[in-house]
Structures are given as structure tokens and as C-alpha cells.
Amino acid sequence: MLMTSTAFRDHEEVAFFRDPHSGLKAIIAVHSTALGPACGGVRFHAYGNEQEAIDDVLRLSAAMSLKSALAGLPLGGGKSVIIGDPGKDKTPALLAAFGRAVECLGGRYIAAEDVGMSPSDIAIVGGETRHVAGLDQGPAASGDPSPVTARGVWRGIEVAVRHRLGRNTLEGITVGVLGLGHVGGALAGLLSDAGARLVVADIAEERCRTVADRCGARIVDVDVLVGERLDVFAPCALGGILNAETVGQLEAPVVAGAANNQLADETIADALHARGILYAPDFAINAGGIVNVAAEIAGNYDRAAVMRRVDRIGDTLDEIFLRAAREGRSPHFVAVDLAQERLDAARAARQQTR
């Protein structure tokens, strides 16, 4: 199952862990350590089968390498998944067992928060290993990175709107936010404060009501939002939302959101480009969380400095969009090339020192 996955290419290490006592079933994927130890979130999710979990962790870890490289961070790319229902299967014993799994990798992988996990969960993991980040307590603790991720996405949307719509502010811009979890909910607040009109959807009705009450958002069904007349479609739920079917339904000229792996496959990037839809590569626009975590790992956490660096995500996207326009290519492939150039240079430098 692993070796036949196209996403396995270029991975340095993939480890499978089981703990019968706690019920832990987990996979840790280290894509690259060329720039530093691999860092990425722990996703606790009820996958349909193990192949889905393998494909997800491989794609996510590879994207983390690109994300850290584009953000100029001294970190590599990694990711982990815990297979199960976090609402039913998550226990302190299981989280502790996962911490021991992380410790087995000797610092090659640093675990942080992702879907289905919280800072308090990461703290339990951290009881068994030093190789965690995104904690609520400690000398360099930064807490939940979700609001920081949301800030970077907000800045990225500003840049995308300027490039595609010629607008210098978000005042009056209609944004559809799909997924109102920690990041999507925070993003909705930032967009509303900037004067955007919101259309929102989430499988959890209470999240929609909360955002509607706070921001005056219009609520639609999750299956309807992609076809709404929007200026910006912001996917902030799980990946794979952009596929052959949904690209044909899109009415928004800009796609810019927080979700990882938004493209079902890379051919979708060209499909968006062919339709004149400006796509903000997810691994570029949603890098705020890893920027925040990197500062914590460095041990000199400075919130103001982190925010300044997160705001530079807009500068990175500006560079990507300008190059994409010059070359007549999708921003996705331009972003991949930029990140890969940095990874290749780091690998070459590391080989020279051996």
C-alpha cells in the first residue's frame, strides 16, 4: 500500500506504530530534513481505511516541506496521523503512546496540533517526548497556532484580491468560507473586520450560527457554497475540495483558503488557470501556523516578530502571482518550483559538508 502510493516519492522515512493497550494506530511521515527537523501537525481522523490514511499523511508531509521552504524556515516537512474517531477513541493513554512513538524518531520529527487535536492533547504527547510544539505552557509556549494561520490567510486573500480583482481593500468583497473550525472561524472574524461580506458553510450548524451572529454572515449548505456567486472562495475544511466537478461549479474568480491539499490532484491547478481563476497555493497561504511553531521551537518566541513574519506571507504570494503571470502558468506550479529550488540548494549544501 505504501510503496504503490505516488505520494511516497522522495520521502525519507515513514513509520507505522500500533499500541494494542491504548488502541493507538498511527503513521508518522518524514518527507525532508534538508532544512532542519521535520515538523508538522498530528491529524486525528476517522479514515475510511488505512490506504486513505497513508495517502493523506504522505501528501501532507510533502506539502509541509514546501510550506517551510517557502516561508524561509529552518524546518523540514513531516506529518502524522492517528487513525480513529477523536470524539470516541482519544484517551490520555493513547496520546501518551503516540508521544512514545514520536520519541522513537529521536527528534527527526516534531509534532504539533492539527485537525482533531488541541494544545492540551499535545501537552499529553509532550509528557513522553520533548519533540512537540504548540503548547499552552512553558518558556516559549505559543498556544493554538490557528489564529496565526488565519492571519496569514487573510493577508494572502488581500494580495489575491488585488491581483485578480484590482481592489486594494476587502471592503465589500464577498468571501465564501467553507469550514468554520479554529482557523476558518478566526479567518471569518478577520475578514468581517476588514469589511468583507461573508457567506459561510460548515457541517456543524452551531459554528455557522456563531459566525453569523458575530459577523452577519449568510449561511448556506456545504454542498452549495462552491457554486455561490462569490469574489473569493476560501476552503478551510479538509483537503481535496477542488476536483474536476467543483472546479466546473466555481463562480469565484479567486480561490484562497486555509485547507491543506485543496487540489484533488495537480491537474486541477491547470484547470483553475484555464478558467481564469486565481489560485493561492495552500502551502504558501496557510504557512502562518508553522511560522508560529518555528518561533516556539527556536526558544525565543516573540509574538510581535511572529506576526511581522506572518504578514510577509502576502509578499511571498505577490512574488508567486507576478511570476505566474509572466510565465503564463498556474501559481501552484510556480510555488512548487520556488520551494523545490530552496530544498535542492539545502540538500546540495548538506552533501558538500559530509
Q: Inform me whether the pLDDT recorded for 142 exceeds 80.
A: no
CATH 3.40.50.10860 residue ranges for the chain? 6-63+76-125
Q: 9 or 266: which carries more pLDDT confidence?
A: 266
Identify the residue with better confidence: 7 or 166. Answer: 166
List the single range of 18-32, 156-170, 296-310 with lowest mean pLDDT.
296-310
The domain covering 6-63+76-125 belongs, at the CATH homologous superfamily level, to Leucine Dehydrogenase, chain A, domain 1 (3.40.50.10860)
Which one-letter amino acid corresponds to residue 260?
N
pLDDT exceeds 70 at position 138: no
| The pLDDT value given to residue 3 | 54
Summarize the confidence of residues 336-343 as an average pLDDT.
Answer: 94
pLDDT above 70: percentage of residues in the chain: 95
Question: Is the pLDDT confidence value at 6 over 70?
Answer: no
Q: Is 25 a catalytic residue?
A: no
> pLDDT digit string (tens) for 203-221?
999 999 999 999 999 999 9
pLDDT digits (tens, 9 = 90+) for 243-282: 999 999 999 999 999 999 999 999 999 999 999 999 999 9
Cβ(279)–Cβ(255) below 8 Å: yes
Question: With pLDDT > 90 as the criterion, what percentage of the chain qualifies?
Answer: 86
pLDDT-based confidence at 9, cuts 50/70/90? low
| pLDDT above 60 for 340 | yes
Architecture of domain 146-286+315-339: 3-Layer(aba) Sandwich (3.40)
Confidence of residue 1 (pLDDT cuts 50, 70, 90): low
User: Which member of 25, 67, 79, 90 is catalytic?
Assistant: 79
**Residues in contact with 178: Cβ distance below 8 Å, sequence separation at least 6, in sequence order:** 184, 200, 201, 202, 222, 225, 226, 233, 234, 235, 236, 237, 241, 257, 259
Question: Reduced to 3 states, what is the DSSP secondary structure of residue 288?
Answer: helix
Q: Comparing 137-151, 194-208, 291-305, which segment has the lowest mean pLDDT?
A: 137-151
Task: Give the pLDDT confidence score for residue 144 in this predicted structure.
Answer: 78
Cα–Cα distances (Å) from 90 to 83, 115, 117, 122, 161, in that order, read: 10, 13, 9, 12, 40
**The predicted structure's pLDDT at residue 137:** 74
pLDDT tens per residue across span 64-89: 999 999 999 999 999 999 999 999 99
pLDDT of 38-61, one tens digit each?
A: 999 999 999 999 999 999 999 999
> Where in the sequence of the chain do the CATH 3.40.50.720 domains occur?
146-286+315-339
CA distance 72 to 60: 18
Please provide the average confidence, as pLDDT, over all residues in the chain.
93
Instruction: Give the span between the Cα atoms of 66 and 63, in whole angstroms.
Output: 5
At residue 239, the pLDDT reads 83
Distance CA 44, CA 91 (A): 12
Q: How far apart are CA 261 and CA 286, in angstroms?
A: 11
Give the integer Cα–Cα distance in Å for 77 and 29: 9
Tell me the mean pLDDT in the region 137-145: 70
Provide the pLDDT confidence category of residue 351 given band limits of 50, 70 and 90: confident
Q: How far apart are CA 176 and CA 228, in angstroms?
A: 8
Across 220-240, average pLDDT: 95
